[in-house]
Amino acid sequence: MNIEEIRRDFPILERKINGHKLVYLDNAATSQKPNSVINAISDYYKTNNANIHRGIHTLSEEATTAFEDVRDKVAAFIGAKETRSVIFTRNATEAINLVAQSWGKTNILPGDEIVISAMEHHSNLIPWQWLAQERQAKLRFIELTADGRLDMESAKSIINDKTKLVAITQMSNVLGTITPIPEIAKLAHVHGALLLVDGAQGVPHLPTNVEEMGADFLVFSFHKLLGPTGVGVLWARPELLEAMPPFLGGGDMIASVWRDRATFNELPWKFEAGTPNIADVIGAGSAIDYLMKLGMDNVRAHEIELTDYALKAFQTLDDVKIYGPMDAQSRGGVISFSLDHIHPHDLGQILNESGIAIRAGHHCCQPLMRDLQVWGTARASFYLYNTKAEIDLLIEALKEANKVMGHVAYR
């Protein structure tokens, strides 16, 4: 990939912060958007803004076609066999809640077990806490190894015949750990359990094929893969979706309605009540086009190279602690770290003075932070438009931060 050419597609990267050119290293929170995505949203509002599915005039027909074309693109992007298995939601969080409220309340019974890992984002924890409490089920956790990998021995001991669902991240937003999803799928299916994969961090960065990974449910958000906010996806095996009751009631999810009853639309519209986020779904389609043109194998290769470079560069800092695997092949482009005696929030503010945007805090993973025995961490996260030169700027700024805080902790 020609990174300098790619960077020219992202207008925000020309912005200056405190007199410095922006170094954007907060991609695990949200990615930046290329001109093609911004223009796709603008063009929709300029040329064919109309509601979809219900109109017979030209604008509505054009908008409907553009919207539904994105469903085809999503299916191709994640290796799904049927487009009717692709449900548009607001984000990955809503998609997980949809499964918990619809499939979960129908299938989880007292005494059943739901299995997640110790590194899950709150979005893949709270819905299962609620469901377990409501259904008198048990929530169990797969533990991690000392270097932040999924402990497969723990997984084998935790997943059993009482397990109804395993819900696990494809890639940790804190540790960068890439989960061995196909192995977890086999463990779950041997015991008759289903597998939900939280792909919020993984899908934007890793080649993803739902058939090859063995998932029963996959969720992700577009704002982390070059697309707009407010659009997510639930993919599920169609027979599961057919058996699940609707999540929300209203327009477009119905077939027929009487005063006292209703029948429901076919897939995927059974789960898409009301007017959807049409413009941003169309923008999301442009984001998929951009990534497909680059090739996800190339995106992944670039991030491995960047992550390997960054891990080595961080090791020139004496007082730094890095969380997660130290092997770039085993993790995504996410590095959570701490510098002795510098609070993560202070570090984030100091770096911002140099125009460097990172994340500081618990990253919506408070149970993991407790396991790590820290309040929070600083986190630098990379994407396809980041460069080794930006990592060099980060390292130099961290050295300066140590000086500012009264410590000389580098060689």
What's the farthest any 2 CA atoms get from each other in the chain? 76
Select which of 50, 294, 326, 364 is catalytic. Answer: 364
The residues near 393 (Cβ < 8 Å, ≥ 6 apart) are 23, 354, 356
Say how far apart CA 12 and CA 385 lie, in whole Å: 12
Q: Is 365 a catalytic residue?
A: no
For residue 207, CA distances in Å to 153, 244, 291, 335, 393 come to 26, 28, 10, 20, 29
- What is the sign, positive or negative, of the torsion defined by CA atoms of 175, 180, 181, 186? negative
Say how far apart CA 148 and CA 371 lie, in whole Å: 11
The pair of three-digit structure tokens given for residue 133, joined into one six-digit string: 């409490």
Residue 406 CB: number of other CB atoms within 10 A?
8
Helix/strand/coil for 296: helix
Query: Is 17:352 a contact under the CB 8 Å cutoff?
Result: yes
Residue 222 CB: number of other CB atoms within 10 A?
32
Hey, which residues are catalytic here? 364
